[in-house]
Structure 1
Amino acid sequence: MNRQTTASTCCYCGVGCGVLIEHDGERILGVSGDPTHPANFGKLCSKGSSLHLTGDLTARALYPELRLGKDLARSRTDWDTALEHAANVFADTITEHGPDSVAFYISGQLLTEDYYSFNKLARALVGTNNIDSNSRLCMSSAVVGYKRSLGADAPPCSYEDLESSDCVLIVGSNMAYAHPVLFRRLEEAKALRPQMKVIVVDPRRTDTCDLADLHLAILPGTDVALFHGILHLLLWEDWIDRDFIQAHTEGLAELKKLVHDYTPQMVSQLCGINVEQLRQCAQWIGTSPSFLSLWCMGLNQSTAGSAKNSALINLHLATGTLGRPGCGPFSLTGQPNAMGGRETGSLSNLLPGHREAANPEHRAEVAAYWGVEQLPANTGLTAIELFEQMRAGKIKALWIACTNPAQSLPDQNTVRQALAACPFVVLQEAFRTTETAAFADLLLPAASWGEKEGSVTNSERRISHVRRAIVPPGEARPDWAITVDFAQRLERRLRPGKPGLFAFEQPAQIFDEYKQLTRGRDLDLSGISHALLDRIGPQQWPFPDNAKAGTTRLYTDGVFPTRNGRARFIADPYRAAKEQRDARFPLTLITGRLRDQWHGMSRTGTAAQLFGHVSEALLGLHPDELRRHRFKEGDLVSLKSRRGNVIVAVTSDDSVRPGQAFLPMHWGDRFLKGGVNALTQPAFDPLSKQPELKHSGVRLEAVQLPWQLFALIEGDVQQHFEALRPLCEGFAYVSLSLAGRERPALLIRAAHGEAPDLQVLQRIDQLLGLNDGPVMAYDDPRRSIGKRVKVEKGRITAIRLAGETLARHWLQSLWLEGRTDEQLRRWLLAPLSAPPGNAAGTASNKTLCNCKNVSESAVCAGITRGLDLNGLKQELGCGTQCGSCVPEIKRLLASSPQPIAISL
């Protein structure tokens, strides 16, 4: 075998980790961290280290597919037919209804070259600003915060500031899950410098809080009040840098009047924390020589997201903690190239090079460079507005690339109505299994991770060259190539006889054209090229012509890219979240991340081992809330908001307060019937237009679903998924997931008010392979109970329990361990299907350490034998790779009975 290694980058979060892809030229065989990459120095999280397991070709879009009517199925076609049809539809639509009747919705997972191609297509050729990115759901409030306060969308810090800061404030980010590699770096820094203070602000007590010296569990949505309360104390105690304020800022007087009313007592009441915690937080921020803040979706996904960002940056301006090592406001980007999207102008209000679409001078500069008469002046539609207008019939053709709005956008009932109403939907996507694929009239197969070349910018402004390791499967093509091919065809219809705008043959050509639009701007990339990155490695912008190295830290001279060179204090008052608890909806729903899944799970959802830590959607409720509702662990409940409802299992979770509920964001309709975003709200921030995905009013209602189904089948999980998921559509509750490592399997859990038609069960059994072969079966028609277990070569390969499913955990444990049990036949013939006696596996044995495949029970057994953390690492290997399991292991150690020393 011709084993090769190609250096590239990870395709998940914005940390931008370097990876080494091991391959044979045709298949990706493994992945490891790149020890030379300055973003991660060889470290990877559980998601990044399992990238090579997400290449399931049965989930991939491999060929163009087209349907010529909404009531018809798509059929395979060739690229010429597909793109000619798309060009004709778009040209006819633009001619008949105008350029603003079409739109593009793209993704923070695209490469910079892909982004630039789409921007030029939309603005220079089509003539519309209707191009927005799913970064609207992610970082747009941070963009507004940086621009209003500092003058440009430019995170001023570097990852090395994590090591040198004296006080680190983490706000609205479960960094341990969302950005694990950076969190490990922070952990190591604190271990070396225990005097470093770490403050975590989060309504939940997450794994990130285990590192904190102080956890402020504020009430959801009250961040602005908290920051104003901290500033009130900084001013009162004179913990401010008067020289910096006088020399480099403006607007403090107005802000001072506002925060005067945010007394400790008022903020304590608003935020649900005590005054002593607030004073301690302010003292550490105000008296520490350096202060660094880190934040993510907890600030951004809010109707007050822009105000939250600016109020946080106010603290840095007041204390003069900018432009120095260990200092500054530092947003943690959620997607691998959301920064590159902002740089190329891939939000409807932006243009390439950090320009504004509303600015006539900026439009004229870009139009002249592109060689077109003018760019559109009409305001473009942002993500939520786009789908609202599409539902209203004003958008006639939509091009979606590398994103899954039928899972990720809030208020899914409205989004799906919009997609169904749109006359022509194009989906450019690597995975044909996403929820959005069902709405596509034209599906175009795109290259994925390891199969394409270009560049990305990470959270610290560092640009990396993404290199291709293998050719894309089937007829999949790189995103830029699809976009350019379509643009050339559309150009022949819209601009006949005029010079071509899209004479690109390689991604390096696209980057070289794009970078000239940054020359002289705050993000000057004019000195960077693919070749330079290959020669000297990833670099931080600005990197102008003739530069020898990138820029580690911005604003070191105290001069900001504003009208007068001064940073601005922003005085926005605290405004409560859109939906507050009331009699009809007495709970606040918080959404967030799982450790081993990413976004809509189109990629991670193909790797069975990534379900080991959390295997199904569970609604976390405080134990008091469970008791108040008279629910017990595992009960199914109907979770309702003002927009929709979903049936989900509940679990006891003391990380949230009574009155709150937590549900991970990842579960779309493919895995959980209805999906999490059937509940969330589309209300958005007035400046950033970012929706309030984090905060919705909900209520719980008991459901009576006595008939339950559990099924497990090994083999081709994607094929089984596609065959079995439609059969479950008629059930009230459906949850699907994967399990296993060497022998992946599909798991189905469903429930309904009554037993389904017998033909449905027979069809399920047929697809599970339970109608023939070595199958043990038991049926009790009177009670609608049936059991099927297939045993081949001494181990279970398929299971179906119908009616009730008390033994499912036990059977799944037997399957995981690759064995049968002498009590299996006796259980099968018993009238009840509870596991026999005290059989093991009555609760799912979750994987605590995904990297080393170490179960929770193995860790608990080691603790019982007296092993401490180091002993567990040495004996089991857990916590020695990505480290994501360490906080959980520490909690198990803390909660276990300690041996009592007896002196004789």
Structure 2
Amino acid sequence: MNQALTASTVKTTCPYCGVGCGVLATPQRDGSVTIAGDPDHPANFGRLCSKGSALGETLSLDGRLLHPEIADRRVTWDEALDHVANGFMSAINTFGPQSVAIYGSGQLLTEDYYLANKLMKGFIGAANIDTNSRLCMASSVAGHKRAFGSDTVPGNYEDLEQADLIVLVGSNLGWCHPVLYQRIVAARAARPDMKVVLIDPRRTVSADIADLHLPVSPDGDSALFVGLLAHLDHAGVTDSDYISAYTNGFEAALLTAEDWSVERVAVATGLAPSAITRFYDLFARTRKVVTVYSQGVNQSAAGTDKVNAIINCHLATGRIGRPGMGPFSVTGQPNAMGGREAGGLANMLAAHMDFTPEAVDRVGRFWGSANVAQGPGLKAVDLFAAMARGEIKAVWIMATNPVDSLPEADAIRAALKACPLVVVSDMNRHTDTMDLAHIRFPAAGWGEKNGTVTNSERRISRQRPFLALPGEARPDWWIIREVAKRLGHGHAFGYESPAEIFAEHVALSAFENGGSRDFDLSALMDADYETLVPVQWPVRARPTARMFGDGKFFTPDGKARFLPIQPPPPFAPAPGTFILNTGRVRDHWHTMTRTGKAARLAAHLAEPFVEIHPADANLRGIHRASLVRLSNQHGTAMVRALITDRQQRGHLFVPMHWTDQFASNGRVDALVPGKTDPVSGQPALKMAQVHAEPVAVRLYGFLVAAAKPTLTTDYWALAPATAGWRAEIAMFEEPRDWPLFLGRTFRIDTPFQSIRDERSGRRAFVLIENGKLVAALYTAPDPVLVSRQWAAGLLAEPDLTASIVLAGRPGADRPDGGAVVCACMGVGINTIIQAVTRNGCTTVEAVGALTRAGTNCGSCRAEIRGIVDANRLVAAE
């Protein structure tokens, strides 16, 4: 565990999604850290989701990179820094500045981003710095800039509570932004007339509060909103005065939209005309509408057009910049917005400036550099494609894992293997990307870093350290500074603290601005960095909670722009293939380098899976909890079948989180083609064509172990348990020598006790030493029916006997809570069922009062409601 930097409570900000929740972190004497929501932070008012609540459980030093390395050899900082600087300089001198690149992350703080951008664009003189935010919000950025002349989110979180209609488009808010979801739930409880529409191919948990779910076909949302624009005009609810005074291009946009009747929209979206009409009428007659969109909109080859189709509808009705109305992009990462502000995207300069001659000159004068990049650099997918062609000779990857997160992930791995110099700055020694690094920098992590982040509502908050830097770990800004010095730019990188960097960032935002640019922090010029409270930008003399309420935009003529949008044709997959959608689950984050340490976050969904409709599963011979092989020309994955009617026929969903560190073959982005939006460069991560077929398995298995096992079976998925590890395995052939297999898997020479049921083919193996469970393995020809939570919980039990463990199920004196439903409170499905069937609980609230399930972040409430509904009849008998 990290050494505490302070024993007092520190106000900081959560490192997960773009909600930007305030966190109170209190180090304890035993080395642990108590985590609570900050009741004073305006993003969350004390709420935290399951991931945020478990932050204290992710702070161990297990797996941390604590020293610089070159080629697997520990070296000094000077040696590593010199090696990187020499490698970059050699590439620049031989092949030019376009031969080097930086690939960053929304996990970087704004100060880190600022220095990385300044070094690359300002002094190396190339704009080849991009970020994993390209995979997240680039289409929203492009749509904003086309419509508003700037990358500006108009509204704030209060609008979600003040709206009379919330439209969720491609956003599973209940799982991906749970705190915002709960703010809407609370607002709806206070105002029952508030309506919610969910537009998503899947019936996600967010449908729990939806009055209308529209299971739109992939990319059909473009047609849906183009048709809505036409309907709004026909219904007479467009605001002609607003359109005339504050916008341009309405006639051209409407001319395109007029061709999209409800019947044509129905064909493009796969929706019933009656459902489309219901949505259109609801939108038309409700003045206060907020349209919330996220990755389902952005991660598309037509993502920018989708964004502008949504914005068109709000501009046409004047529903923007006012309380309770507007288009609202919710970001996926804690500092995706801060990275955009600092110029972390390859097509942006700095402080929200574009690559215009005037801006290049302005930034050059401010930085004191005559070598500022003159134009955009390579965007993420293009950058790695250039690397594969041999054009990128040196790359520095910071706080991200592109071998798992980029499309055509196997090709990304091959490109990095071929790159002459790969530098990675990260917390963790073992990630799929770090394993390919020539030089490894140990970076500071959350709780150790000091800086700022900006959330989805443009609110800047402080991340403050409460833990000392472990080993030789250093902040990213410090590492960048040291490399910049060695490249000969020390005069421009003499910072001694993140406060100095932030002050320069503020000054650049105000430099020759005078209100002409949206990003302006001029009122923070004299702010005390250490005591900085959460604040929304722009921060001028008068605060601005909402943008564009005055009808003034950042286009040359000050008017917003309508865009004529032509929806793409309906996507028709090849015969025999499925449409694959990817995304997040409730309790995990990106590639699990942080959440993969928390046992309770793994308890809900502990292995990669594919959601498939029952009819499709039956047609393919895929059975419940069996293994499925997904494949196409780009790669393969092997995942567990989750058969559910939440999924449409012909569609599959697989989460993005699993990597080679946690599963044998769960990297789903290996299957996604590198197709990108032509405007934003954002890849279409939501849509791939794949084949799905059952996997012939001889034996399934489930194991628990006090020490991390060595897994070499045909299929495996590893997760932490409270006092050890748990894993799912599968084998195509039964081991010929079980003692040898057990010894290699558990690295133990001691013989196991075992039992076998000859009729069913089920077996169990157990090793207990001094009453403590060392390891247990259960196998069967079919998916193993052992209670996972019960078996994993035995690792923490004293005074066990082999007979208890071999039985594979708890006795009457050991209640089995079942698979975890509520990760925050650790409540399992059996406990909830008992609350309904034995204790008469008939509502989610009653279950919560009895068991505490669903009483924290609330993202499990939809699942609890389903359990309550399914067991009411049993309770009534």
Bin the TM-score by the shorter chain: over 0.9
**1:677: which partner in 2?**
669
1:768-820: per-residue Cα shift (whole Å, max 9, x none)? 254227x4146899x99974212245453311346757656247634425669
The 2-side partners of 1:485 and 1:804 are apart by 57
Contact kept? 1:26, 1:470, Cα under 8 Å: no
1:570-620: per-residue Cα shift (whole Å, max 9, x none)? 11201147x6311152x1111121111011111001111101111111111
**2:691: which partner in 1?**
699
1:342-388: per-residue Cα shift (whole Å, max 9, x none)? 0111111111111113x222111111111111312254111101111
**2:624: which partner in 1?**
633
Aligned ranges for residues 87-486 of structure 1 at < 5 Å? 87-357=85-355, 359-486=356-483
**1:71: which partner in 2?**
none
**2:42: which partner in 1?**
38
The 1-side partners of 2:272 and 2:228 are apart by 13
- 1:51 and 2:63 are equivalent in the alignment: no
1:656-692: per-residue Cα shift (whole Å, max 9, x none)? 1111111111112222323111111210000000000
1:491-527: per-residue Cα shift (whole Å, max 9, x none)? 2xxx6xxx71101001010111122221122110122
The 1-side partners of 2:601 and 2:647 are apart by 24
**1:543: which partner in 2?**
539
Cα distance change, pair 102–780 in 1 and its aligned pair in 2 (3 A): farther
Supply the AA of the counterpart residue of 1:38. P
Aligned ranges for residues 561-576 of structure 1 at < 5 Å? 561-576=554-569
The 1-side partners of 2:832 and 2:526 are apart by 46
Contact kept? 1:809, 1:841, Cα under 8 Å: no
Aligned ranges for residues 649-798 of structure 1 at < 5 Å? 649-674=640-665, 675-715=667-707, 720=708, 724-725=710-711, 728=712, 731-739=713-721, 741=722, 743=723, 745-755=724-734, 758=737, 762=740, 765-766=743-744, 768=746, 770-772=748-750, 775-777=752-754, 787-794=764-771, 796-798=773-775
**1:524: which partner in 2?**
520
Contact kept? 1:618, 1:648, Cα under 8 Å: yes
Supply the AA of the counterpart residue of 1:8. T
The 1-side partners of 2:373 and 2:783 are apart by 62
**1:831: which partner in 2?**
none
The 2-side partners of 1:821 and 1:637 are apart by 39
Q: CA deviation at 1:850?
A: 1.4
Q: CA deviation at 1:480?
A: 0.4
Q: CA deviation at 1:332?
A: 0.3
Which of 601, 611, 614 is the aligned partner of 1:623? Answer: 614
Q: CA deviation at 1:826?
A: 10
Contact kept? 1:707, 1:754, Cα under 8 Å: yes
The 2-side partners of 1:688 and 1:596 are apart by 29
**1:594: which partner in 2?**
585
The 2-side partners of 1:827 and 1:322 are apart by 61
**1:558: which partner in 2?**
551
Q: CA RMSD in A?
A: 2.8
Name the SS for the 1:47 alignment partner: helix
Name the SS for the 2:433 alignment partner: helix
Cα distance change, pair 429–328 in 1 and its aligned pair in 2 (3 A): same
Supply the AA of the counterpart residue of 1:666. H
Q: CA deviation at 1:734?
A: 2.6
The 2-side partners of 1:195 and 1:255 are apart by 32
Q: CA deviation at 1:287?
A: 1.4
Name the SS for the 2:324 alignment partner: coil
Contact kept? 1:119, 1:346, Cα under 8 Å: yes
**1:874: which partner in 2?**
849
Supply the AA of the counterpart residue of 1:34. D
Cα distance change, pair 378–554 in 1 and its aligned pair in 2 (3 A): closer
Q: CA deviation at 1:737?
A: 2.0
1:866-887: per-residue Cα shift (whole Å, max 9, x none)? 1133322222111221112211
Deviates more, 1:299-308 or 1:124-133: 124-133
1:457-510: per-residue Cα shift (whole Å, max 9, x none)? 11111111221112111110111011101111112xxx6xxx711010010101
Q: CA deviation at 1:28?
A: 4.7
1:813-862: per-residue Cα shift (whole Å, max 9, x none)? 3442566999964996xxxxx96999999999211111211111100100
Deviates more, 1:142-151 or 1:880-889: 880-889
Deviates more, 1:662-671 or 1:153-162: 662-671
Q: CA deviation at 1:900?
A: 9.5
The 2-side partners of 1:815 and 1:29 are apart by 24
Contact kept? 1:668, 1:677, Cα under 8 Å: no
- 1:816 and 2:799 are equivalent in the alignment: no
Supply the AA of the counterpart residue of 2:765. R
Cα distance change, pair 771–253 in 1 and its aligned pair in 2 (3 A): same
Supply the AA of the counterpart residue of 1:604. T
The 2-side partners of 1:25 and 1:529 are apart by 38
Cα distance change, pair 424–779 in 1 and its aligned pair in 2 (3 A): farther
- 1:851 and 2:824 are equivalent in the alignment: yes
The 1-side partners of 2:206 and 2:799 are apart by 41
The 2-side partners of 1:839 and 1:736 are apart by 29
Deviates more, 1:183-192 or 1:796-805: 796-805
Name stretches of at least 5 consecutive residues in structure 2 with no aligned partner: none
Supply the AA of the counterpart residue of 1:500. H
Q: CA deviation at 1:752?
A: 3.6
Contact kept? 1:21, 1:28, Cα under 8 Å: no
Contact kept? 1:364, 1:374, Cα under 8 Å: no
The 2-side partners of 1:342 and 1:536 are apart by 21
Which of 64, 67, 72 is the aligned partner of 1:63? Answer: 67
Cα distance change, pair 764–61 in 1 and its aligned pair in 2 (3 A): farther
Q: CA deviation at 1:258?
A: 0.8
Contact kept? 2:163, 2:289, Cα under 8 Å: yes
The 2-side partners of 1:174 and 1:278 are apart by 20
The 1-side partners of 2:792 and 2:396 are apart by 44
TM-score, length basis structure 2: 0.94
Supply the AA of the counterpart residue of 1:515. V
Contact kept? 1:145, 1:306, Cα under 8 Å: yes
Contact kept? 2:817, 2:827, Cα under 8 Å: no
The 2-side partners of 1:627 and 1:839 are apart by 37
1:181-234: per-residue Cα shift (whole Å, max 9, x none)? 111000000111111111110011111111111111111211100101111211
Cα distance change, pair 536–604 in 1 and its aligned pair in 2 (3 A): closer
**2:777: which partner in 1?**
800
Q: CA deviation at 1:754?
A: 2.6
Identity in percent: 40
The 2-side partners of 1:290 and 1:336 are apart by 28
Contact kept? 2:817, 2:828, Cα under 8 Å: no
Supply the AA of the counterpart residue of 2:143. G
Contact kept? 1:811, 1:841, Cα under 8 Å: no
The 2-side partners of 1:186 and 1:837 are apart by 40
- 1:862 and 2:835 are equivalent in the alignment: yes
Name stretches of at least 5 consecutive residues in structure 1 with no aligned partner: 68-73, 829-833
Q: CA deviation at 1:538?
A: 0.8
TM-score, length basis structure 1: 0.91
Q: CA deviation at 1:10?
A: 0.4
Supply the AA of the counterpart residue of 1:749. E
